[in-house]
Amino acid sequence: MNALAADLHDDAEFTVAAQDNSWLLTLSGSWTTAAIGAIDGRLRDLKLPSSGTATINMAAITKLDTAGAWLIHRTELALAANKVELQFQSALPAHASLLETVRANDEDCPDPPEPVNAFVAMVERVGRATSQAADEGRDLVNFLGHAVIVLVHSIVRPGRVRMTSLVHHIEQAGLNAVPIVGLISFLIGIVLAFQGAEQLAKFGAEIFTVNIVAQGVLREMGVLLTAIMLAGRSGSAFTAQIGTMNVREEVDAMRTIGLDPMQILVLPRLWALVISLPLLTFFANVMGLLGGAIMATVVLDLTFFQFARQLSGAVTLWTFWIGLIKAPVFGFIIGLVGCYEGMRVTGSAESVGRMTTRAVVESIFLVIVLDALFSILFAVLGV
């Protein structure tokens, strides 16, 4: 206890003696972070000689850390600025070594960066983002080409498809998604029927609510909502699974033993979505029409037979096929983006989360863009 009290009261101190052209600075006590606060200002305001020689005596220093060594070095720099010849006396080897380390690591602070014009900074950010998007687009097209080659080879040689993995992913991406796809489609059919009936009632044309529900569900809403749900559910899962394998270096291990990750990891997932999405779309269409029929019977006081009769006149065979034609294309794009972003994961868990989020956003964006292109194409073809 007494030794601790002695250390606490062993404050840093200094004395100055000057004679002719000789100047002596004697340091004593504990020159540590906890003890130098009281003398920092006094040492900074110390009147230094402008010529001659100076000596710093460190013999009486009991403890020294980097903070105390920095104060001594600061005084050394001030004397050097006055062109005073300086020498040190009686410094312990450990103290001298620490002072030399502080002296070697003393570097001037870099100049502050010049202020950048806000407009220039914005243009720079836009340009950098555009360049990154172009690079990612190029890499995705490259991955697309590789995936198409693998798919074509699997069609020519069906035995190359790993059926166990394919069935597993069909179950995960397709069968397990049936409840949520059915529920969402059913509710969308109810919403379309209710909103359509409310607006058409103003013109006395409530019966055409059936047309709105049929065209909306079969041509657009069924396949689009199903694709969006699979992008968020299965596309993100593909990215997380393959990304985690990348983090664990399992993908590199596959390449080392001569296995193609595109054949083992990507191909079953692509086929699973290409097969599952049309089936889910058909189920979503049925549930959407069922929801619309139930709401129409409630709002319009129609029977199911009247709804079915109006439905048969409102749609054609092409109305049914348009949504199903889009489905495998959307499934291929969702699987492609999910696997591509999974392959791009680097060795960190943070990268898995970032690429998973990016896969969902990119998949939904590409699905909507493709849906718009399909709409334009079908309009030009007159179907």
Q: Number of folded domains in the chain?
A: 2
- Same domain as 170, residue 80: no
Residue 224 lies in a domain: yes
- Same domain as 218, residue 308: yes
CA dihedral sign of residues 187, 189, 192, 198:
negative
Residue 11: give its domain's CATH number: 3.30.750.24
Residue 177 lies in a domain: yes
- Same domain as 144, residue 12: no
- Same domain as 94, residue 147: no
Residue 118 lies in a domain: no
Residue 109 lies in a domain: no
Give this prediction's pTM.
0.69
- Same domain as 78, residue 154: no
Angstrom distance (rounded) from CA 309 to CA 192: 19
Angstrom distance (rounded) from CA 148 to CA 126: 32
- Same domain as 256, residue 200: yes
Per-residue pLDDT of the chain (383 residues; tens, 9 = 90+): 333 334 444 678 888 888 777 888 888 888 888 888 888 888 888 888 877 888 888 888 888 888 888 888 888 888 888 888 888 887 788 888 888 888 888 877 777 777 878 888 899 999 999 998 899 889 889 988 988 998 888 888 888 788 898 999 999 988 999 999 999 999 999 998 888 888 887 787 778 888 888 888 988 888 999 999 999 989 899 999 999 998 888 888 988 898 888 888 999 999 999 999 999 999 999 999 999 888 888 877 778 888 888 888 888 888 888 889 999 999 999 999 999 999 888 877 888 888 999 999 999 999 999 999 998 998 888 87
Tell me the DSSP string of 136-205.
HHHHHHHHHHHHHHHHHHHHH-GGGS-HHHHHHHHHHHTGGGHHHHHHHHHHHHHHHHHHHHHHHGGGT-
- Same domain as 192, residue 78: no
Q: Which of 53, 88, 104 is the last residue of a domain?
A: 104
- Same domain as 241, residue 95: no
- Same domain as 146, residue 32: no
Q: Which of 84, 104, 124 is the last residue of a domain?
A: 104
b (16+ CB within 10 A) / e for 246-269 = bbeeebeebeeeeeebbbebbbbb
Residue 129 lies in a domain: no
Among residues 261, 151, 232, the alpha carbon closest in space to that of 240 is found at: 232
pLDDT tens per residue, range 15-25: 888 877 788 88
Residue 131 lies in a domain: no
- Same domain as 290, residue 179: yes
Q: Which of 82, 104, 126 is the last residue of a domain?
A: 104
Domain hosting 238: range is: 138-381
- Same domain as 232, residue 162: yes
3 state SS of 27: strand
Residue 130 lies in a domain: no
- Same domain as 179, residue 318: yes
Residue 122 lies in a domain: no
3 state SS of 52: coil
